[in-house]
Amino acid sequence: MLLDVSGKTALVTGSTQGIGLTIATALARSGARVAVNGRKADTVDEVVAKIRAEVDGAEVVAAPADVTTEEGTEQVAAVLPEIDILVNNLGIFGATPPLEISDDEWRRYFEVNVLAAVRLIRRYLPGMIGRGWGRIQNIASDSAIVIPAEMIHYGMSKTALLAVSRGFAKEAAGTGVTVNSVIAGPTHTGGVEDFVYQLVDKDLPWEEAQREFMREHRPQSLLRRLIEPAEIANMVVYLSSPQASATTGAAVRVDGGYVDSIVP
């Protein structure tokens, strides 16, 4: 299956590192004109240059802004008046004992992980509908369904993204625009190796260490290893492509079987 998104413009929020960077690179490799987003202009410029060096002929633009604010959203819109593919990847996470999560933290997680995505959808969806084609994806998490006791505020925000995706998919019904969420499972991103080695034998080679970590601390996983960011990016590229035209309003799982349910 050739996943070709040539001629399409994609915005990936929070794409200067981790899963977002991998998604942006994968979309560029599949032919999209890709906008890299992050708060720091110099970091964004470095990543733009990195993707151009890595992907021959890639068309990559810088869209630095704090999209958790209305002003930041307008800054991005000034660079990108119209887009065809929106990937709301930006998010924050952290562990806090449930009864110690303050009102301000509850609000911050909602504003960053949910409202920022809603604002960008509200900005770009009308244009997609008007042109009769578009792809919107909200990067969620297994925590949206398997709520961690120490990360209730994070889980809440990712559950909300599932609802946001389903609701906006209904708004776009019959228009050629699809809206989905991607449920990512435990993923091998920056800092995870250090975290793993805090919990398993430090003398183990990485492949053995992560499998030990998954057996002992993430036993729900059927994959029995951490997911690589490229595996999540593969799903995002597919959902961004013309081939995914009949998938909308869905919570698509790239979780390694972590969520113990048949649906979604």
What digits encode the pLDDT tens for the residues 40-91?
999 999 999 999 999 999 999 999 999 999 999 999 999 999 999 999 999 9
List the chain residues with pLDDT less than 50. Answer: none
Distance between CA atoms of residues 85 and 62, nearest Å: 16
Model pLDDT, residue 2: 86
Contacts of 195 (CB under 8 A, 6+ apart): none
Tokens of 13: 């929020």
Model pLDDT, residue 263: 81
The reported pTM is 0.96
Tokens of 106: 């509850």
Nearest residue to 43 via CA among 80, 23, 18, 68: 18
Model pLDDT, residue 40: 98
Domain positions in the chain are 9-187+227-254, 193-226
Model pLDDT, residue 262: 87
In terms of CATH architecture, what is 9-187+227-254? 3-Layer(aba) Sandwich (3.40)
Model pLDDT, residue 33: 98
Model pLDDT, residue 192: 87
> DSSP label at 263?
-
Distance between CA atoms of residues 192 and 199, nearest Å: 11
Distance between CA atoms of residues 241 and 32, nearest Å: 10
Tokens of 76: 């991005």
SS3 36: strand
Q: List residues with catalytic annotation.
A: 154
